[in-house]
Amino acid sequence: MIKSKKWLIAITTCILLLPIGLFLFLKWSEPDFNKDLPMSISIDHENKDLDAEDAAYMFWSDLLDPYKEPEAPSWKKLDDVRFDEFQLLAGDEKEAAVAVTFWVKPKNKTWSIFHNWGSMEKDGTIRDIHWTIRLKKRGDNTYELTKIEETSGAVAGLPAVEKQYQKEAGIKVENSDMNYTLEQDKLQVTYNGGKSWVKVPLELDQLFQGDYSGSKNTLIEGSFVISPEKTAFVFVEDGMEADRVSILYSNNKGKTWKTSRISEEFASVRLRTIGFTSEKDGYLILTYDRTMGFEAHTVFKTNDGGATWRKAGSVPDVSNHVTDGSFINDKLGFLSFGTKNELNKEGSPYLFRTEDGGKTWSEVEVPMPPEYQGIFVVAESPTFDGSQGTLLVNQGPNGDYQGGNVLARFISIDKGKTWSFANLVDPDQVLDSEKSRLSSEEGEHGAVTYLLFVEGVYNTFNR
């Protein structure tokens, strides 16, 4: 009897663990197309010029064809693969970014390594899959595939909690191991996810002085850096007539601290954004003396790890309120001044770029598609992977398009000199809900409606 119970328990356990094991197996078996990159492709034909879209199609085919082979196991086999569109997003004679929209039909509808590519339709297809394919030209009719960005499922309807998806979309994601707490009038930091804490020798009031009226339960956004290599906090001391700005920093996880001071004084400091692009190079963006339609700003730089700071410059003849700013390296930086409002024109992103460390600045055009003009109006600080950049443009404080949180995503392949619209970023998945609603409504009338994402725009069509 005891043996029978043991066997029953063992069999029951195996039955329960089998689906979990299969799920994990399929999860670990998901294709990672970036793992073996870069890869090259060329065409030897004197009458045929291989352009970026041709190359992107050939790479796409080469990557997916193995899953169509007859000998492929059912759980990693595709019965059909079709593309809807290849669209050049940006490019020159050296680099290019091509968007592809396609769909697949997995052999196995229940267990498949492709389920994370999107929702399966009733006919077994997974539609509206979007990739951005990054290419470099290596010679006549020769291209190199450097990166694939999956911009559907992961981006166009990204779950807010999926940090990896957020990174791919260009959304800044903090490292959860590096954090702080404000408790009992003390500021403490952790480098190991809260297992241990280090006290920061600052009075809390110093972190909120100046032109700031927000919550004091969290630090001012952008006013600190927490990493094993560099921890820094910008703090302000009220003077008799002006504010004094200082930086408390540590290079050894808070074992010792040093203080550096900005030599100038300022009237009512508001924005205080600090960052480091290397062990030695850093930047500090200060805005101050704010009124209803005016605000002064200055960029400071350090090249000795924060010990000393020098004035780098500001954007001349621009007094709009700064909404965001950052440097990618010691030379390349961006400042966003919210929305540019011109007579008889829709509001547009007001973004500036420097490539000499902040001495000189030039305005950056953000070419918004006509259907989104006046909707996405405030550029955030771009992120970069080499020369390839991602820029998100939000709706500003009064945005209400699809709930107000949808973002427009742009890409650049020339270090941010020019930008091309790529797609929408949908943190709350409201666009997915709209797609389902449209499909449902049309289905009631005997037609199937698809919401196709081509050239970064959601378009409806019937089949």
| 381 within domain boundaries | no
Same domain, 320 and 257: yes
Same domain, 76 and 216: no
Same domain, 260 and 201: yes
pLDDT for residue 448: 34
Q: How far apart are CA 321 and CA 335, in angstroms?
A: 10
Per DSSP bridges, beta strands 78-91 and 231-238 are unpaired
Same domain, 247 and 330: yes
| 419 within domain boundaries | no
DSSP character at residue 108: -
Same domain, 217 and 318: yes
pLDDT for residue 423: 86
Contact between residue 315 and residue 336 where contact means Cβ atoms under 8 Å apart: no
Same domain, 61 and 110: yes
Same domain, 39 and 10: no
What is the dihedral angle through the alpha carbons of 206, 210, 212, 218, rounded to the nearest 10 degrees? -20
**pLDDT greater at residue 294 or residue 47:** 294
| 279 within domain boundaries | yes
| 162 within domain boundaries | no
DSSP character at residue 321: P
The DSSP secondary structure of 254-281, one letter per residue, reads TSS-EEEEEEEEESSEEEEEEEESSSS-
| 398 within domain boundaries | no
Same domain, 125 and 237: no
Q: How far apart are CA 368 and CA 116, in angstroms?
A: 30
Same domain, 274 and 198: yes
Residue 22 has pLDDT above 90, yes or no: no
Q: How many domains does the chain have?
A: 4
| Ranges assigned E (strand) in 140-268 | 142-150, 179-183, 186-190, 198-200, 224-226, 231-238, 243-250, 258-266
Contact between residue 390 and residue 382 where contact means Cβ atoms under 8 Å apart: yes
**Among candidate residues 98, 129, 150, the one where a domain is terminated:** 150
**Among candidate residues 334, 349, 364, the one where a domain is terminated:** 364
pLDDT for residue 396: 93
| 234 within domain boundaries | yes
pLDDT tens per residue across span 42-94: 766 554 667 788 888 888 888 988 998 888 888 888 998 888 888 887 776 67
Q: Which residue, chain included where needed, has tokens 């400071």?
A: 300
Average pLDDT over residues 154-180: 49
| 371 within domain boundaries | no
**Among candidate residues 341, 364, 387, the one where a domain is terminated:** 364
User: Does residue 143 sit in helix, strand or coil?
Assistant: strand
pLDDT tens per residue across span 240-272: 678 999 999 999 999 999 999 999 999 999 999
Q: How far apart are CA 262 and CA 246, in angstroms?
A: 6
Residue 347 has pLDDT above 90, yes or no: yes
**pLDDT greater at residue 219 or residue 27:** 219
Residue 19 has pLDDT above 60, yes or no: no
Contact between residue 424 and residue 411 where contact means Cβ atoms under 8 Å apart: no
Q: What tokens does 31 get?
A: 């294709």
| 227 within domain boundaries | yes
Same domain, 225 and 246: yes
Query: What is the pLDDT of the chain when averaged over all its residues?
Result: 81
Per DSSP bridges, beta strands 179-183 and 186-190 are antiparallel
pLDDT tier, 430 (very low <50, low <70, confident <90, very high otherwise)? low
pLDDT tens per residue across span 438-451: 444 444 434 333 33
**pLDDT greater at residue 99 or residue 330:** 330
pLDDT for residue 160: 30
Rg (CA), the chain: 26
Contact between residue 248 and residue 237 where contact means Cβ atoms under 8 Å apart: no
Same domain, 238 and 119: no
User: Does residue 20 sit in helix, strand or coil?
Assistant: helix
Domain membership of residue 356 as a residue range: 179-364
* Among candidate residues 249, 225, 221, 247, the one with its CA nearest the CA of residue 236: 247
Same domain, 125 and 228: no
Edge-to-edge order in the sheet of strand 224-226? 224-226, 231-238, 243-250, 258-266
Long-range contacts of 370-376 (CB under 8 A, 24+ apart): 371/457, 372/408, 372/421, 373/346, 373/348, 374/346, 374/347, 375/399, 375/401, 375/408, 376/349, 376/401, 376/407, 376/408
